[in-house]
Structure 1
Amino acid sequence: MQLEEFVPPSKIYEDYAYFSSYSDSWLRHVKDYTEKMAKRFSLTSKSQVIELASNDGYLLQYFREKNIPVLGIEPAANVAEYAIRKGIKTEIKFFGNETVFEIIMNHGEADLLIGNNVLAHVPDINDFVSAMKILLKPEGVITMEFPHLLKLIDGNQFDTVYHEHFSYLSFSSVERIFSYHGLTLFDVEELPTHGGSLRIYACHKGDNSKKVSTSVRELRMKEFKAGMETIEYYQQFTERVKETKRNILEFLISAKRKGKSIAGYGAPGKGNTLLNYCGIRTDFIDYTVDRNPHKQGNYLPGTLIPIYHPDMIIRTKPDYVFILPWNLKEEIMENFSFIGEWGGKFVVPIPELRVYDPRAVEMSV
């Protein structure tokens, strides 16, 4: 699955507003990852870890704490500057066949090559994967995390479809792409992050030190049995998306007619897809808030909903807080459970609209 039209990456990352370090749960996730990788692949001070789309150094900082040499490759200069200030060696450039040889000449190859939530973001996925093969040492390992298309469809996650994401990937499609470029997927994990993601492990074809795990065959069969190789699987998705839109609007119309106030939480890309598709503007949601200071003081594209500091929720005491980054709902509801003091409730729109009362058990609408 791919978008037919796309915005040039140079436009998307010119003044990029996403900083990975503003999610506590994501930082816990990648810290656990570094512990696991360092142990599993015996990484030492003589190894080199390279991350593609390294953002603000959110992950590489944990390898650096272990005295494992690191290199970040990040195209968004304003974000990369934060990593450099942390002491994370970072190349500010797009990754692909045009830049990979310069990277090798200046820094060498990778023992562990990482890409978290980047594989779906590149317009030429074949160029990207072939360049990864070049950058990887003969017995090196690639790990990549990306949202799983199976979870997107089954979880009704239509809001994750937007122009920063060029591809929507199944395990089977990624396995075919990697195989074409001489890389074998030898292991895979299903993760809860971003509504359901995969972490794949790849090595050079012919690297006999890596045994293909049973999880590879099991996931391949799971996708086949779900019907992911058939067009019917995707066609039934359309009606579920329309019904979700109707349910969201019914809730918002009912709440506003009762005189309830509604604020948003978060300003993620997925939120813009949901709000614009549903036609939700300030007639329903007064404002939204975000921890990221680079988003505060701006407006959501299309809907023109203003973005404020999270303290605005304390000042205005809304009846409902509409959580746009629903993949972080547990973290957000824990941090803002105090809204229950004035009777406030949380609204989570995906996979189906649910209302959560901080003072009581979950309620379904």
Structure 2
Amino acid sequence: MICRLCGRAELESVVDLGATPPCERFLTAGQLDDPEPTYPLHLRVCRHCLLAQLPPLITPEDTFTEYAYFSSFSSSWVEHARRFVADATARIRPKFVVEVASNDGYLLQHVDARCLGIEPSVNVGAAAREKGVPTLTAFLDKETGAKVRDEHGPADLVVANNVYAHIPDIHGFTTGLRELVADDGWVSIEVQHLLSLVGQNQYDTIYHEHFQYYTVESARRALAAGGLYLVDVERLPTHGGSVRLWARPFEAEPTAAVAQVLAEEQSAGLHDMSGYQGFARRVEQVRLDLLRFLLDAKAAGRTVVGYGAPGKGNTLLNHCGIRPDILPYTVDRNPYKHGRFTPGTRIPVLAPERIAEDRPDYVLVLPWNLRAELVRQLSYVGEWGGRLVFPIPTLEEVRP
């Protein structure tokens, strides 16, 4: 394995989570007797350019041609997108906005200017077009970016939220962004911050869809390799701690915020290898604590069910070896997943109404990053004395 950003063979192990199926490959009842392919989930960091990465064992086409994730099923995420559009419009006043990996139109539906989504998943892009959001079904690379620019003109604002980690060809994707954006335009990228992932034990966000994990320093290097220059950064609470990177197609003096975040990363040891020491041990503790809780609850005759069926949840379930004998089902608001089974662990995914019917003692919240939203949504669990359980960053019981 060589680094996909700098091409060096100087990769050092951070944490090895074994082998798991792709996290969004939910099974139908008819597939339960079929074999499931699994792939190593081993995070490494390049000592030279600092990019944290997984080996590219599956392709984006394997995952995103038909996709199980629809952004609009998270009301807090839709509101996050609405606020971003309002702020970006006030900052830039764009006449043409392009979003890459635009999903079901959750963001572009708020844009008043001319806009275009580029979404590789056929089923998700169709949902966006039903909302009236113009959407091209394609993966972004240099050629796609150039074609869109030729047909629609350069974009004043290019948005790439929660996709920069999902592409193994960093150079091709970044040059595609450069092709899309006007020479005086802006590129906005949101991506989970490796500083939060390591510091808050967020190891369940390591899965095969995420080919790499960024510090601001490694993102700065990746952008520069494609002809974009980091000029500003914002810290965000989304996904347990993300960064919004603002880049332009010309060199400019970065803001003080860039220097501040880089200093925090360096202080945490993420500009060398020291900051990763002990991470694998903390990951193992999360696993042990969750298994101990589930086994103790079962021994005491208490019922535990899951809430949510996110990709991160499938990393956690597979790493911990959790099966239907100790977690009989989970629920999800996305009807696409109803009647299906989680990859690897084969846990049934049901409609959310099942929780009120069964009145379990505990609800294990798998999308812990939506904590505030879900504590409100699940407040009714407290009516029968039930509790919510959050496994990350450390196991915590909450009475809603």
Normalised by the length of structure 2, the TM-score is 0.86
SS at match of 1:141: strand
Q: Which residue of structure 1 lines up, in the alignment, with residue 388 of structure 2? A: 346
2:269, 2:276 within 8 Å by CA — same for their partners in 1?
no
Q: Give the aligned residue type for 1:8.
A: T
**Deviation digits for residues 209-236 of structure 1 (CA, Å, limit 9, x no counterpart):** xx52100111111111111022232131
Q: How does 1:1-365 map to 2 (within 5 A)?
A: 1-43=52-94, 47-63=95-111, 66=112, 68-206=113-251, 212-358=254-400
Amino acid corresponding to residue 133 of structure 1 in structure 2: R
Taking structure 1 as the reference length, what is the TM-score of the superposition? 0.94
C-alpha offsets along residues 293-341 of structure 1, whole Å, 9 cap, x if unaligned?
0011100011111000000001111100000000012111111111111
Separation of aligned partners in 2, 1:356 and 1:27 = 25
Equivalent position amino acid for 2:117 in 1: G
Report the Cα distance in structure 1 between the residues aligned to 2:103 and 2:170, rounded to whole angstroms. Answer: 19
CA distance in 2, matches of 1:212, 1:302: 45
TM-superposed deviation, 1:57: 0.3
Q: Which amino acid letter does the alignment assign opposite residue 62 of structure 1?
A: H
Tell me if structure 1 keeps the 8 A contact 2:99–2:116.
Answer: yes
CA contact (8 A) 2:56 2:168 kept: no
Unaligned runs of 5+ in 1: 359-365
Aligned residues with identical type, % of pairs: 45
In the alignment, the residues of structure 2 paired with residue 20 and residue 6 of structure 1 have an alpha-carbon distance, to the nearest angstrom, of 25
Cα displacement string for residues 2-21 of structure 1 (whole angstroms, at most 9, x for unaligned residues): 10242111110122010000
Counterpart CA distance in 1 for 2:167 and 2:286 is 29
Deviates more, 1:98-107 or 1:122-131: 98-107
Q: Output the CA distance in 1 between the equivalents of 2:118 and 2:248.
A: 20
Offset from partner CA, 1:158-190 (integer Å, 9 cap, x none): 100000100011100011121233322111000
Residue 6 of structure 1 aligns to a residue whose secondary structure is coil
Residue identity matched to 1:213:
T
Letter in 2 for 1:150: L
* Greater relative CO (CA pairs within 8 A, separation 6+): 2
Rounded to whole Å, the distance in 2 between the matches of 1:312 and 1:101 is 48
Question: CA contact under 8 A between 2:119 and 2:139: conserved in structure 1?
Answer: yes
CA–CA distance in structure 2, aligned partners of residues 127 and 53 of structure 1: 15
Residue-pair matches, total: 349
Name the aligned partner's letter for residue 81 of structure 2. V
Unaligned 5+ segments in structure 2 are 1-51
Contact 1:6 1:166 in 2 (8 A): no
Residues 307 and 365 of structure 2 are in contact (CA less than 8 Å); yes or no, is this contact kept in structure 1?
yes
Q: RMSD in angstroms over aligned alpha carbons?
A: 1.0
- Name the aligned partner's letter for residue 115 of structure 2: V
Tell me if the contact between 2:322 and 2:345 (Cα under 8 Å) persists in the aligned partners: yes
